[in-house]
Structure 1
Amino acid sequence: MFSGEYVELDGLGLASALKDGKISPIELMRVAIYLAEKRGNALNAVCHRQFHASLDRASKAQLRGTFGAIPFLLKDSGLASRELPSSIGSRLFSSTFFQSDSTLAERFSAAGLMGFARTTVPELCMAPTTEAVENGGPTLNPWDQTRSSGGSSGGAAVAVATGIVPIAHASDGGGSIRIPASCCGVFGLKPSRGLLPMGPARGEGWGGLAVDGVVTRTVRDTAAVLDAVAGSDPGAPYAAPPTPASFLSNLNKPFNRPLRIAKWVTTWNDIAVDPECLAAVNQAEKLLQQLGHEVVEVGAPQLNYDGFVTNLINVLAANAVVAIDGVTRAKKRDKWSNLLEPAILDAYDYGKTLHAEDYVLAIMQFQKISRVMEAFMSGFDLILTPTLTQLPAKLGTLTMEDDFRSFRLRAAKYTTFLAIINASGQPAASVPLYWTESGLPVGIQLIGHFAVEDTILRVSAQLESASAWYKHYSNFKG
């Protein structure tokens, strides 16, 4: 199989070729590594390469699970895997090795997803762009290399958009699946809190804001991954309600009535929304109406956005303290402080000034937002919004050179429609429906009721069929 044939197939397509004997696991791995070296290196999307070991594993691989033995990339988020070290985008955590696998890494492997490297992230995954010093500079947007690929799953979205792999691990604590999915033109679903396992070493991320997932080129690949890996692990503090027997089997099932979808394009504090982002929502509205659904424009739900952003900053800073103290307790500050980018070092220092009350009040507000959002969705099946308020950020405009609070305040104006949904715990997806005349993708977001991923996936599949977004990937010439 040549790289041209490889990139034309999604994950289930590659799995079918394996099952039919048209290709072998090691042949697929060779193509993926070739593309990682060519495209991944050019765009700075891949790190912690384990190419030789992965070729050896692929040569011995037996087909298993949904995907048999297809190439896969883990995000450099610190998700534990004995096969792949991690740095979390930080010189301080450079080449951290793991003695055991996380539950999710085990499930990915059992599903036939073979990790051979990690994808780049910003430091500690705390930015909406991927420009980590640890990785030697920014991860580039494949459609406009003067712009960001998004973050924190920036490398993952680049890898999928450019065909290095059809499916890549991602995670989302404030938009980190949906931001890069929008910037790079791929499908990215943030699952409901508790749907995917986070154990056994931890039970939650960032006060319940963070969840794991994947980015893909096709909706059916995301559905198939969820079928393979969803479900809480023993002792999990959060557990989403039971899922359908199969997201994939339900994907093309018609709805028994038109859906009622709220269109939400206004923001708090009069934060501006780029006309192209609004055009993307309007195009989605027309497609949804052509599909027979009802779309109703509504205003933003009433909540204290400034207070939310402050609480988000507090929770991130507190988590920065825990992470950094975990590896520096016995060391003098001058031995490690220069290994952190300015915003993250400032987050650490700020986090040290926080009180227990600050953290508890933040969690309480997040929980209140869950109530606000469910009340807001009363009478609606989904919410339609822009994914981002602006086109993919120009490189260098959202770097870690600022103090942490100023940095996060600027990020909050870019990701206004996203982190609120991490607080509420609802599922939400960035769908790559719209492309500008210059060839830049602009995502729209679909938000569902808690634990009702099925509706998002089925509507996304309808939109995928109506818009044929897959054709855009052939425009990448790298």
Structure 2
Amino acid sequence: MDQHDVAQGRRDFLRAGAALGGAAAMGLGAGAAAAARQQSSLPLPEYERWDATEIARLIRRGDVKPSEVVEAAIARAEAYSAINALTVPHFDLAREQARALDAAGKAKREARPPLSGVPFALKDLSVAMKGTVTTNGCAFFKDAVADHDSTLVQRYKAAGMNIFAKLATPEFGQTGTTESRLFGATRNPWNLERSSGGSSGGASAAVAAGVLPVAHASDGGGSIRIPASHCGLFGLKPSRGLIPMGPGALEGWMGLSAHNVISRSVRDTALLMQLSQGPEAGTRAAPATSDLMKALGQVPKGLKIGLFETNLFGMGVHPECLDAVHKAATLCAGLGHHVEPISLQQLPFLEMFGGMGVMTGTGMLYTVRAREKLLGRQAREDEFEPINWLTQQKVQKYSAEQLYAARSVFDQAGRIFDEVFGRYDLILSPTTAALPPKLGELSLDQPFDDFAKRAVLASPFTAMFNMSGHPAMSVPLHWSVEGLPIGVQFAAPYGGEARLIALAAQLEKAAPWADRRPPALA
């Protein structure tokens, strides 16, 4: 059934793309497309204004049925199919679960898990839900059916989430956009010619469009924070080891990658982290868990914040991204915090990013080799994006010494940041050095040199904290002159998620963003 769903998802994208292209040829913009959609009413008009916390409350009270909210999510996924956020639908499974929940009486409703019946979706990368396909955005994995649930999926299910789909990602999450040969391009709801970010671009597009209030995401170099920034959403990458990655591997990319969610509301992220954090069997190193729901109500006072705004690649930062971070600094100062410029020139920056290439490429090759062993055949070049195929050939020449050196330089970066956090409570920076790119600019299906020139603008600020293991969040506090979202990043000491959540809640109250919706979909 899931193989059929993958094929159907691809056909739906092609139909949507053809329709979009036809509209463009006739001179119709996004506003006209939105008007056409509005002619057909969608179920539960209020649905797009609710966050997951509110949906769960309404279900517990009996004001809305689980089947009603899952149908509302499915209807919007279909109505907004031009953004191409979904890859593998699990609609039948979700409907079956919703019907079972509908049948429960009031007493059972009140005794159910905190997010019972809330529609949810998983990123189509490095996560397993038994009996369903995870493609990793790659043709070589297009029929890879999981025989188990990831630990994180177990926790999401225990929280009551109704998982109804997988969400688009670039192949192996290797770029800051969400475009693949397998499923095509995922479009930014704020501007359909722009990228929704990557690699959790399916999650950011779905949440920005109102298909979901919150969605699973992962981050190996900025893949939660970049799409959150590009789509006007809240995204927090947790400390290394806080959210479980297993059981297959307890550290993604040897510690670079972390799982969490992208959301419209800070409280949804806090709640999902509260319910999913903590060690799993096999965990040996992880930060202490904290009461993130309590942090929502703790107004931070007098934080000392270091402002960092230099692209250490020497490629500069877009003026509107700098404007965003300066306005965030002013907002923080107005809330009673102290903000002052800092330098991070002491970081071994080029060595860090060189090591990142070694680590992510090796991780990709390891995943491919495991699939080859399972299938009993070698992967073919035509089953991969050109840049990823090239990377796999290059990685085979790396030595164990290079891999060890990469992890060693990451640890060195972590030590340097720890020293900085000994003087500052938080670090404020741009999330990205550029505005949301046009589709195609960061595709893995282009000459490598062209890709590399643009990639250095996507993650110079985010990836540092993947390498160091510190938590960092992108907060949607600014929009460009053209109406494109621009997030700003705050990073905290290792295990400092509560501090980030407390500040994010304060900023959310001071400069609300939840009601800001893409004009084309409003």
Do the two structures share a fold, i.e. TM-score over 0.5?
Answer: yes
Cα distance in 1 for partners of 2:456, 2:314 equals 13
Q: Does 1:56 align with 2:91?
A: no
Secondary structure of the residue that 1:68 maps to in structure 2? coil
**Partner in structure 1 of residue 213 of structure 2:** 166
1:290 Cα deviation after fit: 1.1
Partner of residue 115 from structure 1, selected from 136, 139, 163: 163
1:238 Cα deviation after fit: 2.8
Distance 1:196 1:203, change over 3 A: same
Q: Does 1:208 align with 2:279?
A: no
> After superposition, where does 1:42-441 map in structure 2 within 5 Å?
42-61=82-101, 63=109, 64-135=112-183, 137-241=184-288, 243-244=289-290, 246-255=291-300, 257-329=301-373, 336-402=380-446, 407-408=451-452, 410-441=454-485
Partner of residue 63 from structure 2, selected from 4, 19, 22: 22
Contact 2:222 2:462 in 1 (8 A): yes
Between 401-410 and 106-115, report the one with greater CA deviation. 401-410
1:104 Cα deviation after fit: 0.5
1:162 Cα deviation after fit: 1.0
Contact 2:193 2:438 in 1 (8 A): yes
Whichever residue aligns with residue 248 of structure 1, its letter is M
Contact 2:307 2:428 in 1 (8 A): yes
Cα distance in 1 for partners of 2:132, 2:468 equals 32
1:44 Cα deviation after fit: 0.7
Contact 2:186 2:201 in 1 (8 A): yes
Contact 1:232 1:240 in 2 (8 A): no
1:288 Cα deviation after fit: 0.6
In structure 1, the gaps of 5 or more residues are none
1:408 Cα deviation after fit: 4.9
Secondary structure of the residue that 2:396 maps to in structure 1? helix
Distance 1:122 1:105, change over 3 A: same
Cα distance in 1 for partners of 2:376, 2:247 equals 28
Cα distance in 2 for partners of 1:212, 1:408 equals 26
Whichever residue aligns with residue 50 of structure 1, its letter is H
**Partner in structure 1 of residue 52 of structure 2:** 11
1:154 Cα deviation after fit: 0.2
Distance 1:441 1:5, change over 3 A: same
Cα distance in 1 for partners of 2:43, 2:459 equals 38
Secondary structure of the residue that 1:471 maps to in structure 2? coil
Whichever residue aligns with residue 367 of structure 1, its letter is D
Contact 1:175 1:415 in 2 (8 A): yes
CA offsets per residue over residues 22-78 of structure 1, 9 Å max, x none?
001111111111011111x21010011011221111100265322121000100013
Partner of residue 34 from structure 1, selected from 57, 75, 78: 75
Cα distance in 2 for partners of 1:409, 1:315 equals 20
Between 189-198 and 323-332, report the one with greater CA deviation. 323-332
Cα distance in 2 for partners of 1:406, 1:92 equals 25
Count, aligned residues:
472
Secondary structure of the residue that 2:269 maps to in structure 1? helix
Between 1-10 and 285-294, report the one with greater CA deviation. 1-10
Between 349-358 and 399-408, report the one with greater CA deviation. 399-408
1:300 Cα deviation after fit: 2.5
Contact 1:209 1:422 in 2 (8 A): yes
1:344 Cα deviation after fit: 0.7
Contact 2:70 2:95 in 1 (8 A): yes
Cα distance in 2 for partners of 1:336, 1:38 equals 36
Contact 2:131 2:147 in 1 (8 A): no
Whichever residue aligns with residue 114 of structure 2, its letter is T
TM-score when scaled to structure 1?
A: 0.95
Whichever residue aligns with residue 279 of structure 1, its letter is D
Secondary structure of the residue that 1:462 maps to in structure 2? helix
Secondary structure of the residue that 2:148 maps to in structure 1? coil
Contact 2:218 2:261 in 1 (8 A): yes
1:410 Cα deviation after fit: 3.8
Instruction: Detail structure 1 runs of 4+ shifted over 3 Å in the superposition.
Output: 329-333, 402-410
Contact 1:346 1:403 in 2 (8 A): no
Cα distance in 2 for partners of 1:227, 1:476 equals 34
Cα distance in 2 for partners of 1:215, 1:254 equals 22
1:353 Cα deviation after fit: 0.7
1:414 Cα deviation after fit: 2.2
> After superposition, where does 1:432-471 map in structure 2 within 5 Å?
432-471=476-515
Distance 1:474 1:393, change over 3 A: closer
Secondary structure of the residue that 2:122 maps to in structure 1? strand
Distance 1:299 1:466, change over 3 A: same
Cα distance in 1 for partners of 2:167, 2:44 equals 20
CA offsets per residue over residues 92-117 of structure 1, 9 Å max, x none?
11021111111100100111211100
Cα distance in 2 for partners of 1:405, 1:111 equals 45
Contact 1:337 1:345 in 2 (8 A): yes
Contact 1:66 1:224 in 2 (8 A): no
1:212 Cα deviation after fit: 0.3
Whichever residue aligns with residue 55 of structure 2, its letter is L
